[in-house]
């Protein structure tokens, strides 16, 4: 069964610094998709960035990038030049490609606080 684990409950960083949030996953599928989502203080959940398991290059979108280490089943989210508005809860998620069940499984989330 697929599983996603985020061990960092909460992180605080100074504004304009770089932060990395950890995520490890478990799957028996040879092909899968990994996602990071952001939940703002209002409760809104938005998609940030995706990594396809067959791609070796780390995905990058704006000031978000991923550190995909397939042998370690790890997909870290890196936020560079953090801003106050990056303060939120960040969820890691996975969807297997070959099972046909289209289930997205989420980690418990990491709360990020960016301090001025």
The binding site for other proteins (CB under 8 A) comprises: 6, 9, 33, 35, 37, 43-47, 50, 52, 91, 93, 95, 97, 101-109
CB nearer other proteins, residue 63 or residue 103: 103
Minimum gap (Å) between residue 16 Cβ and other proteins: 28
Minimum gap (Å) between residue 35 Cβ and other proteins: 6
Minimum gap (Å) between residue 102 Cβ and other proteins: 5
CB nearer other proteins, residue 57 or residue 116: 57
Cα distances (Å, whole numbers) of residue 74 to 34, 90, 116: 10, 15, 30
CB nearer other proteins, residue 15 or residue 47: 47
């Amino acid at each position: 069964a697929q599983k996603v684990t985020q061990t960092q409950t909460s992180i605080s960083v100074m504004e304009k610094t770089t932060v990395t949030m950890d995520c490890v996953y478990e799957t028996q599928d040879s092909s899968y998709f990994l996602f990071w989502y952001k939940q703002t203080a209002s409760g809104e959940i938005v998609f940030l960035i995706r990594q396809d398991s067959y791609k070796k290059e780390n995905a990058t979108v704006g000031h978000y990038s991923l550190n995909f280490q397939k042998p370690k089943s790890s997909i870290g989210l890196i936020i560079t030049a953090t801003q106050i508005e990056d303060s939120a809860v960040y969820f890691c998620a996975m969807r297997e490609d070959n099972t046909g069940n289209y289930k997205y499984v989420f980690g418990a989330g990491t709360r990020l606080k960016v301090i001025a």
